[in-house]
Structure 1
Amino acid sequence: MTEQRAAVVGAGPGGLAAGMLLASQGYEVTVYEKQPFVGGRTSRVQLGDYRFDCGPTFLMMPYLLEELFASAGRSVHDYVKLVELDTLYRLRFGEMDFEPVREPDRMVERIEALFPGNGKGYLRFMKEEEEKFRRVGPLLQRPFARLTDYLTSPVFAALSRLHALDTVHGRLSRYFTDERLKLAFTFQAKYLGMSPWACPGTFTILSYLEHAYGLYHPIGGVNRICEAMAEVIKEYGGRVLTSSPVERVLLEKGRAVGLRLAGGEEVQASHVILNADFGTAMTSLFEPGQLKRYTPRKLEAKKYSCSTYMLYLGVNRRVELPHHTIMFAEDYRANVRDITETLVLSEDASVYVCNPGVTDPTLAPEGKSALYVLMPVPNLSGGIDWEKEKTLVRDAIIRRLEREPELAGLSACIEEERITTPLDWQDDYGVYRGATFNLAHSLDQMMHLRPHNRFQEAANCWLVGGGTHPGSGLPTIIESARISTRLLMEQDARAGVSPFAPKSNVRQVPAKEAVLWK
């Protein structure tokens, strides 16, 4: 029997999760990554002795990660130490600080202290969203390749709870009267790169998930999760090849048969898994004219998320900010409108600061801090001249940060620094239009209307990552890998094609045995 070979393009979390699952089932897996490191937008940034997460800075729903590793015969806790944060984040509205927590009783106390009369709304929100997630959650675990996929009992059970015709902000207005409290439960739409005034009401589950399941920090950074998955692939005999860019997906008679690497070498594969950024993959990995659904014109017409301006700062003193701090613009709605509609830089912008050193001492030298600073900005559709603006934006952000008592005099304490603009996201990381959260999650780009896990343009080609169903964000990217690999293996089973027997050199650890550190 010929061993089934899976070639994975991109060592982001989706590609690594898919590679890990397939390798554990006996597939010969090779992951090709153009960068000299794994992770993509979930990689590590190293500046001298300071270490930063490149993109995502926390983990939600750790049980999904436990299930993923258990499916591959591993326990994630043998590779990664997860620490739950007691306070989810500090939200700064002008002079007011609001610090949400996971425990309902403490949360009600904090709400009533700052927003009297809204505690009951919080409890109602959590109760109703729990039922919503119970119904909607199964839709995130199944493919939507055909219209008939809607004609199932899970879909019918979820319809009344989808709230797809409402908006995230509209839904939260049913629970809270204070605009600041609404923003505390709607800003999570930014995880999808969208405005809460435009994002479908389905996605109120994002804030529910934070409050129901908590936020976790992996010691060493979120990038440790990607490194752990790469380790598992190698343990099962797979390969993760960094500094190995892919030039083309090879097609024969409408079927993916392998890859051509940038150096000209061609490799054969039974299956190709695409974890490259969706827009970039469609425009660069196929011969012109091969794709009919995703021509350059059709890609231009799609909706894309906002982008982010990043500052990674190595600071020569200990900073006492909480792990996560969000400083809201005075007129948050105008700020969001600038980012998503008028596509200009806001004079008064919202800024997010991650200060993981208060939880994790491994990221900076003793007595120093590795600060991660993010400002949501328009993607490259806005035509902003980033070569001209990047230093001006940097200086404006530093001035804003220095208004915080804990960050006074910050500019004189910076030892290491790196800037990433939307242009850098595009040029250095291959992110189409610099849209760091991938395709937008508008109604016309969800479920069946989102690129399918089984790639429609080529047989034996599969999509994983934020550009396919169920969407962007680490939990849904993990689900995309589980969906795509399940479809792949089911197809092989129907065809009577099987990989060699799964390797079994470790005990499979059920998720229920896992222990989380707190």
Structure 2
Amino acid sequence: MTATSFASSTPSSSRRKTALIIGSGIGGLSLGIRLQSLGFDTTILERLDAPGGRAYQKRTDDGYVFDMGPTVITVPHFIEELFALERDRGMLAEPDYPPHTLAEDARVKSGESGGPRTREYVKLVPILPFYRIYFDDGTYFDYDGDPESTRRQISELAPEDLEGYEGFHADARAIFERGFLELGYTHFGDMPSMLRVVPDLMRLDAVRTLFSFTSKYFQNPKMRQVFSFETLLVGGNPLSVPAIYAMIHFVEKTWGIHYAMGGTGALVRALVQKFEELGGQIRYGAGVDEILVTDGRGQPVKRPIGTRTARGVRLESGQEMHADIVVSNGDWANTNLKRIPAAARLVNSDVRVRAARQSMSLLVIYFGFRDDPARPLNLRHHNIILGPRYEELLTEIFGHKVLGNDFSQYLHVPTLTDPSLAPAGHHAAYTLVPVPHNASGLDWQTEGPKLVERVYTFLEERGYIPNLRERLTHSEYITPDYFEGTLDSYLGNAFGPEPVLVQSAYFRPHNRSEDIGNLYMVGAGAQPGGGTPSVMMSAKMTARLIAQDFGIHKDIRDGTPESVEQKVPEAAGAAD
């Protein structure tokens, strides 16, 4: 067995601090960039052969490029902020949300988006409409965040809900302003931090379920679906998540939906480039077998008492690597169940971890097909295709954990925006079907192929992609087994702990371990939750906690649950 330590022999006050991050997902990469800016020497350990985690990008031998995970990018300011960071210069002192980006007309409608530093690394373009939402009767709603367009379409599909939309718009905006702009970067590390905001959440009616909240304003089932489906894209059941998630409507409305030319994989590669420019290192094929934890005497923890401190990791190869801090960007449940000794865990015990509700999983089909100029696709970049049932289907997936006779899906056709992802004259697409995670006991080797065939038949017979099977040139798929095996996700969940009320804010896994010193979490499993913008926020929250713990005060805000304007204390000295 070999051991590698990143600590030099110089006194701790003068040597550079070191960090190990487990996993190169967007959260891990974002935190790596921030730690380099705080003066750490950071190594990211990735068990796969390329970066991205859930945002892994696959290139096929027949010329297709598929983003295997997230495809929706919003809040480009979060990305610009990362590319603007410099090594050892501390984090940015500007407000978390620049005021000029919050105007009603801030949404980019055409051309290239993203700030000047972003454009040095990746090209972002806005997507309109954000989503085309198809209903089972063949009608559709183009969701683009424009209130006038929204009112016009409501008047056509559900005129009885026009007045209700005005109420929803006003109340969702209030939730967005308090829940996202003011509290978005709050780390709820103790109960008092949570109790201080409960009165506001109650006043905003943000603790009832999202679907119940939406149903206050809309009577037509179609409008209830349009204004509640988005939480499915971050692993949340609209029937169960709290209404604070109504803020997603305003997050998208304010900053729009964007696409990275070359796919989300191009954004991942850009983040890797930035991280390495700042001096960070990534090791691929470096799966972590155990997080090394010592007691107050520097010995491996054997009893759940005393001081416990993370001192490094042991790789699957047997090599040990030591560092000042360890951060997991992996699955929260499996980080605890597989990689941290049970004797080192009190708060995150096996009982608590196994009792937590996990998000649903996915079947995702990646396929390529020939274009037909005589019958151009009547699709958009992002398509939500809803089945005949909504509440019943969600209950089957999240509650009963069974496969129904029907399904809904998210069909992504990026080649309508970016033809480079497929051979000339072809399209690359994926379609994502929410399914139960592996607590269902379903045999995906049997059920997977059958569901794929049902989806292809549906897309063809309903006319979404006419003659699809004749035109198909590439087809592969993943099931919950991919999430459980390849991505090491507990029960094959696709988004971490389900974002229900009792697993949100203070009740969601904390970014600073309650059990072990110098151990942190980042990404979808930590606060604030899943989704590309949220994991970038998670990285900033975790970086601030690390800065506090190590006395690094340059340009660091305290993250207390107050208004945005109150979060910027005076700089208090140079970085350690």
From 349, 354, 371, the equivalent of 1:295 is: 349
From 75, 79, 103, the equivalent of 2:117 is: 75
Measured in 2, the distance between the counterparts of 1:422 and 1:207 equals: 28
1:100–1:110 CA contact under 8 A, matched in 2: no
Q: 1:208-249: per-residue Cα shift (whole Å, max 9, x none)?
A: 322333211111112222221111111011101111111111
Q: How many residues are matched?
A: 495
Secondary structure of 1:375's counterpart equals: strand
Secondary structure of 1:405's counterpart equals: coil
Q: 1:313-336: per-residue Cα shift (whole Å, max 9, x none)?
A: 011226622111111110122211
Secondary structure of 1:198's counterpart equals: coil
Q: Which amino acid aligns with 1:30?
A: T
**1:284 matched residue in structure 2:** 338
2:484–2:490 CA contact under 8 A, matched in 1: yes
Measured in 2, the distance between the counterparts of 1:95 and 1:416 equals: 27
Q: 1:255-304: per-residue Cα shift (whole Å, max 9, x none)?
A: 01111111111111011111011112112112343322333333221111
**1:144 matched residue in structure 2:** 188
Distance 1:151 1:373, change over 3 A: closer
2:288–2:316 CA contact under 8 A, matched in 1: yes
From 77, 92, 99, the equivalent of 1:63 is: 77
Structure 2: gaps of 5 or more residues: 1-13, 88-115, 296-307, 555-576
State how 1:81-92 maps to structure 2 within 5 Å.
81-92=123-134
Secondary structure of 1:399's counterpart equals: helix
> TM-score, normalised to structure 2's length?
0.82
Q: Which amino acid aligns with 1:108?
A: R
Relative to structure 2, which stretch is displaced further, 115-124 or 337-346?
A: 115-124
Measured in 2, the distance between the counterparts of 1:79 and 1:256 equals: 34
Secondary structure of 1:289's counterpart equals: helix
Secondary structure of 1:272's counterpart equals: strand
Structure 1: gaps of 5 or more residues: 497-518
**1:504 matched residue in structure 2:** none
> TM-score, normalised to structure 1's length?
0.91
**1:235 matched residue in structure 2:** 277
Q: 1:100-139: per-residue Cα shift (whole Å, max 9, x none)?
A: 2222212211221222143333233223222221111132
From 39, 53, 67, the equivalent of 1:53 is: 67
Residue identity (%): 28
Q: Which amino acid aligns with 1:144?
A: F
**1:274 matched residue in structure 2:** 328
Q: Which amino acid aligns with 2:80?
A: E
Q: 1:343-392: per-residue Cα shift (whole Å, max 9, x none)?
A: 11111111211001111122111210111111000011111111111111
**1:108 matched residue in structure 2:** 151
Q: Which amino acid aligns with 2:480?
A: P
Q: Which amino acid aligns with 2:214?
A: L
From 12, 15, 18, the equivalent of 2:31 is: 18
Distance 1:387 1:159, change over 3 A: same
Distance 1:176 1:377, change over 3 A: same
**1:252 and 2:294 correspond:** yes
Q: Which amino acid aligns with 2:291?
A: V
Q: Which amino acid aligns with 1:98?
A: F
Q: 1:16-55: per-residue Cα shift (whole Å, max 9, x none)?
A: 1100011123210100000001110012122231111111
State how 1:358-507 maps to structure 2 within 5 Å.
358-493=416-551
**2:106 matched residue in structure 1:** none
Measured in 1, the distance between the counterparts of 2:363 and 2:269 equals: 25
Measured in 1, the distance between the counterparts of 2:166 and 2:117 equals: 34
Q: Which amino acid aligns with 1:135?
A: R
Measured in 1, the distance between the counterparts of 2:542 and 2:320 equals: 24
Relative to structure 2, which stretch is displaced further, 335-344 or 281-290?
A: 281-290
2:27–2:522 CA contact under 8 A, matched in 1: yes
Secondary structure of 1:67's counterpart equals: helix
Aligned-pair Cα RMSD in Å: 2.0
Secondary structure of 1:36's counterpart equals: coil
Q: Which amino acid aligns with 2:217?
A: Y
Runs (4+) of structure 1 exceeding 3 A deviation are 71-74, 154-159
**1:265 and 2:319 correspond:** yes
**1:513 matched residue in structure 2:** none
**1:217 and 2:271 correspond:** no
Distance 1:428 1:37, change over 3 A: same
Considering Cα pairs closer than 8 Å and 6+ residues apart, tell me whether 1 or 2 has the greater RCO. Answer: 1
**1:183 matched residue in structure 2:** 225
Secondary structure of 2:313's counterpart equals: strand
**2:366 matched residue in structure 1:** 312
Secondary structure of 1:141's counterpart equals: coil
1:43–1:223 CA contact under 8 A, matched in 2: yes
Distance 1:387 1:151, change over 3 A: closer
Distance 1:357 1:197, change over 3 A: same
**1:127 and 2:194 correspond:** no
**1:508 matched residue in structure 2:** none
Q: Which amino acid aligns with 1:15?
A: G
**1:330 matched residue in structure 2:** 388
**1:500 matched residue in structure 2:** none
Measured in 2, the distance between the counterparts of 1:158 and 1:288 equals: 36
Q: 1:162-213: per-residue Cα shift (whole Å, max 9, x none)?
A: 521x111111112222111110111112123232122211111123322333
